[in-house]
Amino acid sequence: MREISRASAPAKVILFGEHFVVYDRLAIVMAIDLRACVTVKPRGDKKIIIRSNTMGLSGEFSFNGDYKPILGGFECIRLKPIYIAAKNVLNLAGEVVGLDINIESEIPVASGLGSSAAVSVATTAAVGNLLEMSLSKDDIFKLALEAERVVHENPSGVDPAVSTYGGVLAYRRSGGIMRLKVNADLPLVLGDTRVIRDTRKMVLHVSEIKRLYPEVVDGIMGVGELVANLAIKALEDGDLITLGHLMNINHALLYAIGVSNLAVERLVWAARQAGALGAKITGAGGGGCIIALSLRENLYHVAESIRVADGNPLIVNMASMGVKIEG
Ligand code: PMV
């Protein structure tokens, strides 16, 4: 066993198909250049102690999962997937050892950028490397997805997939992850509404709307699938104008199933009025972030317009590197 191990994994934005992906429709997702980094060290006892500066939380799990907070209250649900990710790898290796797990992350939490998945992926890789196992990316993805199931209602798996593999992926939950060749610089402005939302609640909301209006919602999701397929071609052709149109259409579909709100609409319209080629929710909606596609020369103008509309803008780029062992 090594004395220390460190791994990092990227955040993501969903370009097309959030929510629909839960129902086995196609999604397109891109890793971005914000990373979570996890450092692990073995302990002499059997405790798993997790510290996260970003979340302002620390806590101690016994080997069988009992939780004691150290800092930041009794709420353990945010740390639990990290514990499960580490425990799954220990179980796989047949090791009974305590761990100190330290998380440093640049990814805003609960904003739809996949911060929890990035931490689960980086934890899985770091613990695997500590135990000198040679986990493949497919192994890391599957183990991290198990951990994500603890906090999300019926997760599609799109977040741990892109955090593991990086780049731009076409993803369908029932089968297959395809890495796309993107023939363009994809200049995106993220706009954080600063409204914290709960992915689980938003997914439940969509399932309720789908239960009430099954034919309508199936129709909307079918159109979402057409949009995602056209987007694959536009990405391969580097056709930003078409991509922008398709993002606006995708946003309208998400609006139709009730996952937008005033905070989101303000930022989407601020970006469009500043000349964005397209703007939409990214992730679960109900707050969180929007993304706006813009020509590179107009990025700062779009970002400023988002700021004036009370959003927190951030210019992001594609990260081709997925999970990475840092040492
Ligand atoms: O809120 P986020 O970015 O973690 O994304 C959730 C994406 C959904 O499609 C709404 C749910 C899922 O599991 O794919």
What is the pLDDT averaged over residues 198-219?
95
- The residue out of 133, 156, 181 marking a domain boundary is 181
What is the pLDDT averaged over residues 112-121?
92
User: Which mutation among 158, 251, 257, 290 tests ligand 1's pocket best, with the greatest number of atoms within 8 A of CB?
Assistant: 158
φ/ψ of residue 19, rounded to 5 = 65, -50
- Give the number of the atom of ligand 1 that is nearest the alpha carbon of residue 113: 3
- Give the number of the atom of ligand 1 that is nearest the alpha carbon of residue 14: 3
Q: What is the pLDDT of residues 36-60, one digit of tens each?
A: 999 999 999 999 999 998 778 899 9
What is the pLDDT averaged over residues 68-79?
81
pLDDT class of 196 with cuts at 50, 70, 90: confident
Residues 55 and 164 in one domain: yes
- Give the number of the atom of ligand 1 that is nearest the alpha carbon of residue 116: 4
Distance from Cα 94 to the centre of ligand 1, integer Å: 32
Domains identified in the chain, total number: 2
DSSP letters, 65-84, are --EEEEES-S--TTTHHHHH
pLDDT class of 238 with cuts at 50, 70, 90: very high
Q: Which helix (H) or strand (E) holds 57?
A: strand 57-61
Question: 323 in a domain, yes or no?
Answer: no
- Give the number of the atom of ligand 1 that is nearest the alpha carbon of residue 199: 1
Residues with beta carbon inside 6 Å of ligand 1? 18-19, 21-22, 112, 114, 152, 155-156, 158-159, 199, 203, 283-284
Distance from Cα 284 to the centre of ligand 1, integer Å: 5
SS3 state of residue 230? helix
Q: What is the per-residue pLDDT for 162?
A: 96
Question: 38 in a domain, yes or no?
Answer: yes
Q: What is the pLDDT of residues 169-195, one digit of tens each?
A: 999 999 879 999 998 889 899 999 999
Residues 210 and 243 in one domain: yes
Q: What residues make up the domain containing 73?
A: 5-181
Answer yes or no: are the C-beta atoms of 101 and 124 closer than 8 Å: no
User: Which mutation among 24, 30, 107, 159 tests ligand 1's pocket best, with the greatest number of atoms within 8 A of CB?
Assistant: 159
Q: What is the per-residue pLDDT for 183?
A: 86
Residues 166 and 259 in one domain: no
- The residue out of 181, 198, 232 marking a domain boundary is 181
Q: What are the start-end ranges of the H helices in 238-282?
A: 240-256, 262-273
pLDDT class of 208 with cuts at 50, 70, 90: very high
- Domain CATH number, residue 283: 3.30.70.890
Question: 257 in a domain, yes or no?
Answer: yes
Residues 64 and 159 in one domain: yes
Give the integer Cα–Cα distance in Å for 25 and 27.
7
Mean pLDDT computed over every residue of the chain: 94
Instruction: Identify which has the larger pLDDT, 77 or 97.
Output: 97
Query: Is 185 one of the annotated active-site residues of the chain?
Result: no
192 strand-pairing partners: 289, 312
Residues 22 and 162 in one domain: yes
Distance from Cα 46 to the centre of ligand 1, integer Å: 34
Residues 144 and 200 in one domain: no
Give the integer Cα–Cα distance in Å for 161 and 177.
8
Distance from Cα 162 to the centre of ligand 1, integer Å: 12
Residues 21 and 53 in one domain: yes
How many residues make up the chain in this entry? 327
Choose among 117, 204, 194, 222: nearest CA to 154. 204
Strands 48-52 and 98-105, by their bridges, are parallel
User: Could you tell me the two tokens for 210?
Assistant: 């789908």
SS3 state of residue 294? coil
Q: Which of 24, 66, 100, 159 is catalytic?
A: 159
Residues 200 and 177 in one domain: no
Q: Whose CA is nearest to atom 5 of ligand 1?
A: 283
Choose among 14, 7, 167, 194: nearest CA to 108. 194
Distance from Cα 105 to the centre of ligand 1, integer Å: 19
Q: Whose CA is nearest to atom 14 of ligand 1?
A: 156
Distance from Cα 153 to the centre of ligand 1, integer Å: 10
Question: 322 in a domain, yes or no?
Answer: no
Residues 79 and 98 in one domain: yes
Q: What is the per-residue pLDDT for 184?
A: 86
- Domain CATH number, residue 102: 3.30.230.10
Give the integer Cα–Cα distance in Å for 231 and 237.
10
- Give the number of the atom of ligand 1 that is nearest the alpha carbon of residue 197: 1
User: Could you tell me the two tokens for 196?
Assistant: 């914290």
Residue 212 has pLDDT above 80, yes or no: yes
Percent of the chain residues topping a pLDDT of 90? 83
Residue 150 has pLDDT above 90, yes or no: no
Give the integer Cα–Cα distance in Å for 77 and 69.
11
Residues 238 and 129 in one domain: no
pLDDT class of 126 with cuts at 50, 70, 90: very high
User: Which mutation among 15, 152, 177, 203 tests ligand 1's pocket best, with the greatest number of atoms within 8 A of CB?
Assistant: 203
Q: In this structure, which amino acid lies at residue 178? A: M
Distance from Cα 112 to the centre of ligand 1, integer Å: 7
Choose among 182, 183, 153: nearest CA to 166. 182
Instruction: Identify which has the larger pLDDT, 14 or 197.
Output: 14
pLDDT class of 74 with cuts at 50, 70, 90: low
Residues 140 and 202 in one domain: no
